[in-house]
Chain A
């Protein structure tokens, strides 16, 4: 429980909570970015440099921008009724609170009370690289395949329909 952990946790919580409550969707995405950067900083705090920087690269550089693009293209930036909370507001919040209560109870009872003091693992980037290439090479290939499939699939799903017909007709 260091000060840096508390600070980063506060940033993360503020960012994500704002992302889920703000009216304007673009604000939501920006707040989400703040939360995810806080999360990446937490990864760095835990000694996982590679994961932390990958988190920034993927979430800030790709997912947030993608969400922003989606918001622009679906004209959801104007705060209208559709962005407000749904009719599940009370029940949804209740479910979330219950889930948190259960998880917190499990965490409190499940983990040992005294601090585990392990030396932080060193040189993890090189280790991550060699592990990816040796022990985890099959999952890596599968992930590569999945990403390619996702790329092609996303492009096809998002493609303009009339234009798709046109190209088919031309072929």
Chain B
């Protein structure tokens, strides 16, 4: 019979219409500013800079290597490398970004900067309420606005941050070990050199290359 499907459809919408007044669970809308859906862990929108420790200026992991600046497809990152070096979180002297700007209005959230960063210094944020009254400067974030602590990173992406932290800790431990070993070797080499120098001051040229090779190893 013609119109059977129409009647079925009308019954369905009528059920929705009255049901939505009776049963609040039918309503799928989330009243946004007051209520919010929990964000899933994989949420990503714009990049930010991670710092270790308490001081955003001193603890930035970024060493201004400018790989992200080169890789950024829409070219929204602008970095000025510092001329001097400062000790980073581990106390090692490193270059740091004198200026680090990201134009969020240009960024396309591709996450390539995160992929290429060898220092795990740039990560994706989940903050989406970024609207600004300032048309040109409002979305141009400098390094002070971009800097967010490692704790924050752990909060928004716990799994990923845990993995990064573990990797970093391992790396640092390895680096420390290597540094210790190197220091030891250096010391040994220096001692050997000193001993050699002391033992055979007359033979001047021959042992020198051996010491040099040992040092380069």
A–B in direct contact per CB < 8 Å: no
Interface of B with A (CB < 8 Å)?
none
Residue ranges of A at the interface with B (Cβ–Cβ < 8 Å): none
